[in-house]
Structure formats: structure tokens, C-alpha cells
Amino acid sequence: FYPYRYFASEGFLPGYNFPRLPLSAYLPRNRRRSKDDDDFLSRPRFLAVSEFGPRSIIYHEGARYVINKVILGAGAETRGGDDGLLTRAVRCERCGAIEPLLGEGSPDLCRECGAPLGAPTPNFFRMRNVTARRRDRITSDEEERLRIGYDLRTSVHFPVVDGRPRRQRATLVDADGEPLATLTYGHGADLWRINLGWRRRSETDPPGFLLDTERGVWVRSQNPEAPDDDPEDPATPQQERVIPFVEDTRNCLLIEPATRLPDEAMASLQAALKTAIQLVFQLEDRELAAEPLPARGERRSILLYEAAEGGAGVLRRLLREPEAIRAVAERALVLCHFDPETGDDLGSAAPDRERCVAACYDCLLSYFNQPDHPIVDRHLLPELLLRWAGGKVEVSGGDAPRDDHLAGLLDKCESELERRFLRLLAGRGHALPSRAQVFLAEANTRVDFFYEPEHAGATAVFVDGPPHDSEDAARRDVMIQELLEDVGYQVLRFHHSERWEAIIDRNPSVFGPGSERPPAQAQHPAAQVDPAAERPDLSSADERGETTPPAAEGEALAELLELFDDPWHAAIRALAEHPELVIDAGGELGNRVAAQFHARVDSSDTTLYIVDADDRDAATALRILRERGDLALELTASHPAPLRAVLDALDSKD
């Protein structure tokens, strides 16, 4: 009983961040006594799915009770909707993800791992409050089943917003860049705890329990044809096999090693990480929980979730803070009695302690992982944890690995300025945008980059080139920004003349703190230009008779040259070498006129359109550009000094 829960239900306090209502069991006392002596037991949902499970035995104040009935709501139907008893869902047997199904259809592939999905399960039964009946004696079979317990599985479902799962993925890589593990963080993910039946059941028995869907009575015999020897709990013909489950919302982190580890190593790693995170972030043992996915007998990944109501907010720090995962790995090495620098076995937590052979209560053993005690072994971890301690986390803004996600964003960029913005984020180790070129109907505009919200709000990013310097464009940008902010978006603008690193550093909640700072030559050119600096030599390397080494072209120049035909590469390279020019590929002109410009050159205050003089529609392109007041230059691929021609054209504008 929580006093603030009571006040919240009465409307005195807001209802957010209060403990979710637990499940209760009604325990009737002796019939000869008054109903005032009846009692209720309450348990958190994840505990109630087993403690208040079908035919479970409860010992309370010297008496035995058996859970024999579910309290069904008035008018509850067997299937469908929020008022129905049963829910359809499909669970991935490879990764443990679950997908609730509202309609008749079912996905063929898992949204999380891409594995083929089986047939959906139509009979998931959401646990409700239960009723127990007093029992003086229990059979030896019931005692044995109670000792072994239920077959419980945990599944995770990331909420879907605009058709996309709301999660954040990152890759843990070692010092050589080799992937060590994939980390998937979900803020407010839905966790399902599913009761598949007794562990001590035949392989031919289907999962679940028989339930009288009319009265809510758990059928004592799992064989509907067998006679029931309990006259007070008779079997009824209205029976259906159901799979009980409970659901709750938690902040969770999935950790999947890059290479498949044996169950012994996974169980040991799970125990070490859980305890190390608690020590590094000063959490209580009950504030953080860890479970294997998809099942205890097939460990592919580790599910960590914040068990405290509202969450402690530490799991997301493993992705956002560069040193967090290293600190956890080093603490795990110390916890397992190894030197964090060399990996040497220290034997025990202290010199005067008894030597730890495989595991002890100073390292991997605890009350909460007792089923794993026979298989955990600290000697399986030092090599792996040493690599983790020397690694770093690369955060991806989407579902794919960071490098693949970056490549996809680069393909969607519409200007070289946008590509340089992405490379700046990647080079400094910041979080990448979730999507590029996203249309936001609220403001009837398309943003250059978009960051999906992790918990509240979303961020729209604009990369503004020289065309945005005009008064009309600036006025339009202000209007769009106000519209977006009015509907709850955060708006960040990166002007071509501003220092982008400063904007990024002022917004760590969006971009993260970053992992490394690259050398000055790797930073965005717009951030390196000093307006007061003396103007550099305007001639290109080709004009000075120098040869540009291939290594100096870099990845950015190579991608730019791919947008042009081979005869133009020398001219485009000469223009791209100039630090005050931004070069981009051309495009079509006009609505119905077949004409195009070949390249676009942006300086600090002017935009120049280059038209290929060898193009048969060059005259038409020049006429269109000049009619709309744009600066245009007719140029050939074989021009002897393309940079000088472009700079002269830009100066003529002044």
C-alpha cells in the first residue's frame, strides 16, 4: 500500500511516476468467522505472474491456500479488444521480441532481428486479480511442481511511433574497430513476463493452462477428459487453454555479443555486468534486473532493465557517455578478482579471503541468479572484459549499424554541405540523425535531418547554405522555426558561416558528448575559416603546377567526384580545394524546359551556377538563370584555369 497511490486515485496528485497497481490475491478465512477477517495479498506484476499463477500454493499466517480462480470483469468476453480476455501476439524464438497483434494479419519477419516468425499465439491471457481457496493438505505431485516452478519467459516490445520502433542502437567496438557487441536501448519499452506452464510437464503438453472462461476457475486437471476429485472445484465444459502474462513499461538495454558465446559465458557475463553497473552507478540490487533472451536454455542476448518505478536513468548513459561502458567493464574485472590492467587472476576479493574457484558471493553469485549458480564461471570473462574496457561505443541514429546508417544518410543528402555536417558528427563520435529529408506536415516543410525522440520531444536540424542569407529566405526560415516550435519540436540551425562544433557542444542532449575530437584538418571547413584572416592564394594546385597527392583527396572529395563525368574531375577538384567554396552537383532548371546547370558553387555570400558550354541546351540554361536573377557562368571541362574563372565571376557580383 502506497499512500500517494491512494491520493493519486482520488485525484489529489498527478498519476505519473507512481507505482503501477499491483495484482492482489483474495484469501478467505474460516467460513465460521466474519468476512472482516478475510485478507488480501498484493504483489508487483512481475512477481505475481508466478506467485499468483494457476494452482500455485500460498502459505499465509500458518495456513495453505491454492490459487483457484481469476476475478473476471463483468461482461468480459473471450476474445478481442480491451475488454476481451485473450490477446493475439507473435514471439520471436531467436531474439525474444514480441509483437502484439490487433488485426487478423501477422508479420512474417521479426522487426528486431529479421528472423522468420512462426504462427501467432491467439490465447495470451492478461493476468488479473485472483482468488485463493484454503487447503489443509496438498499432494506430493503438487509439492514437486511447486518446488520446480513455472516455465517463465520474458519478451520485449519497443513502442512504434510513425511506423518506426522507438529505440536507439549502438555498437561496442574494440581498439581496432572490430565489433564486440550490439547495444539496443529502449526508453519506456513494453516488457512481457509470460507463464508457459509448469516446468515439470510432458513435451507433448501444449503451453499454458486450462481456464473456465465463464467463471474464471483454473481447471485442476490439465486433461479435460480426466475426472476431478475435488467437489469444491468442479471441472466445467467451458474451458480454454490460455497463456497468462503480465506487462509493464521499463527502460531496458539489450546487449548481444558479436560472436555467439556458450551459455556458461553468457550467464557469467550477465551476472558481472549487472553487479558492475550497480556498483558504478550506486544502485540497489532491486533497482536493476537482468535476464537472458530468448530463454534460459538459449542465451543469445542479455536484457537489462530498470526495475525501480520510473527508472534510475542509468542504462541510457552506457550509450551516451563515452567512458561509461569502459568503467563498467573495468569494475567487472575487479569484481571477478582480475587485475583491470593486465587481466591477472588475483584469486579473491581480498588477500585474507578464501580463494574463489569458479564464483563466489563476492563476485558473480547472488540471491537473484540462483538458477545460474551451477554454470557461472569467472574464468570465462577476463579476455572478453579486457577488450570491452579498451573499446568505445558508436551510437547509430537508426536500426542499422553506425557505418551503414551513416552511408544511408549520406545517400539522402541534397548538398555537399549536408554531407560535411554528417561527417563532422561521425568524426567526433556524436549521435547521428535518425532520418534525413523528413517532411513535417505541421509546418509544411522538409527538414534536412531529424532526431527521433528518446523520451520527450524531437529535434529538427537545418543545414543552411548561402541561399539562406537573403532577407526573404531568412524571414521564411524564422516563420518555419516558429511553427515547428509551437507544435513541440526543437529546432537547430547550422549556418554555413557559423562554428558548428560550438552548436553541437551546446546541445549534448541531442548529439551526445561525443567520443573523440579529430584533428583540426578533419573539422568542418566552415568552422575553420577566420573572417579576419588574410585571403589565401587563389590559384589552385593545378594552376601552380603542383600535383595533388591522391591521399589528400579524401573520402569527401572522392564522393563529390563520383557525381561528375571524368572530363570534369580536374576542374571540380580545383574548385573543391578552395577553403571558401562549397561545391555540389547540378540539377534541372525550369518546370517544362529541358535545361540544366552542371554544378553549383556556394561562397560566403553568393551562389554561382556553372553551365556546361558543351551542352546543347547551355543557352537555354543561361537564359533561365539570368531571368531569375541568379549568377551564372558558362564553362567547359577543359578550361585551363577553372578556379580563376569562378572567382572572377564571384567578384563580378560585388
pLDDT digits (tens, 9 = 90+) for 477-497: 999 999 999 988 999 999 888
Choice among 159-168, 257-266, 553-562 with the minimum mean pLDDT? 553-562
Residue 78 contacts residue 87 (beta carbons within 8 Å): no
Average pLDDT over every residue of 350-368: 89
Q: Residue 239 has what pLDDT?
A: 86
| 305 vs 427: which has the higher pLDDT | 305
Start-to-end CA distance of the chain, whole Å, equals 77
Q: Residue 8 has what pLDDT?
A: 63
Average pLDDT over every residue of 583-590: 76
| Beta bridge partners of residue 257, listed in sequence order | 181
Check pLDDT > 80 for residue 400. no
Average pLDDT over every residue of 157-162: 80
Q: Residue 185 has what pLDDT?
A: 92
Residue 120, SS3 per DSSP: coil
Q: What are phi and psi of 621, to 5 degrees?
A: -65, -45
Check pLDDT > 80 for residue 229. no
Average pLDDT over every residue of 351-355: 84
Quick one: CA torsion of 108, 113, 118, 122, rounded to 10 degrees?
-90
Provide the pLDDT confidence category of residue 502 given band limits of 50, 70 and 90. Answer: confident
Which ranges in the chain are annotated with CATH 3.40.1350? 401-528, 550-653
Residue 278, SS3 per DSSP: helix
* 107-136 residue pLDDT tens: 899 988 889 999 999 999 999 999 998 887
Q: What is the 3-state secondary structure (H, E, C) of 520-532?
A: HHHCCHHHHCCCC
Can you state the angle between helices 263-280 and 324-335, rounded to 10 degrees? Answer: 110
Q: Residue 529 has what pLDDT?
A: 34
* 616-631 residue pLDDT tens: 888 888 888 888 888 8
Provide the pLDDT confidence category of residue 18 given band limits of 50, 70 and 90. Answer: low
Check pLDDT > 50 for residue 401. yes
Average pLDDT over every residue of 539-567: 58
Q: What is the mean pLDDT of the chain?
A: 81
Domain 550-653: assigned CATH number: 3.40.1350
d(CA 426, CA 81): 45
Beta strands 489-495; 435-440: pairing state: unpaired
> What sections of 176-280 are H helices per DSSP?
263-280
Check pLDDT > 50 for residue 525. no
Check pLDDT > 50 for residue 589. yes
* 41-78 residue pLDDT tens: 888 899 999 999 998 888 888 888 889 999 987 655 55
Q: Residue 231 has what pLDDT?
A: 55
Q: Residue 402 has what pLDDT?
A: 77
Check pLDDT > 80 for residue 436. yes
| 228 vs 275: which has the higher pLDDT | 275
Choice among 16-30, 92-106, 539-553 with the minimum mean pLDDT? 539-553
Question: How would DSSP label each residue in 21-66?
Answer: P-EEEEE---TTS-GGG-EEEEE-HHHHHHHT-TT-EEEETTEEEE
Buried b (16+ CB within 10 A) or exposed e, 74-112: eeeeeeeeeeebbbbbbbbebbbbbbebeeeeeeeebbb
The C-alpha cell at 544 is 601552380
Q: Residue 518 has what pLDDT?
A: 42
| 215 vs 301: which has the higher pLDDT | 301
Residue 404, SS3 per DSSP: helix
Provide the pLDDT confidence category of residue 534 given band limits of 50, 70 and 90. Answer: very low
Residue 556, SS3 per DSSP: helix
| 597 vs 401: which has the higher pLDDT | 597
Question: How would DSSP label each residue in 89-108?
Answer: EEE-TTT-BEEEE-SS---S
Provide the pLDDT confidence category of residue 554 given band limits of 50, 70 and 90. Answer: low
Check pLDDT > 60 for residue 282. yes
Provide the pLDDT confidence category of residue 547 given band limits of 50, 70 and 90. Answer: very low
Which of the four CATH numbers 3.40.1350, 1.10.20, 3.40.50, 1.10.10 does domain 401-528 have? 3.40.1350
Choice among 137-146, 304-313, 418-427 with the minimum mean pLDDT? 137-146
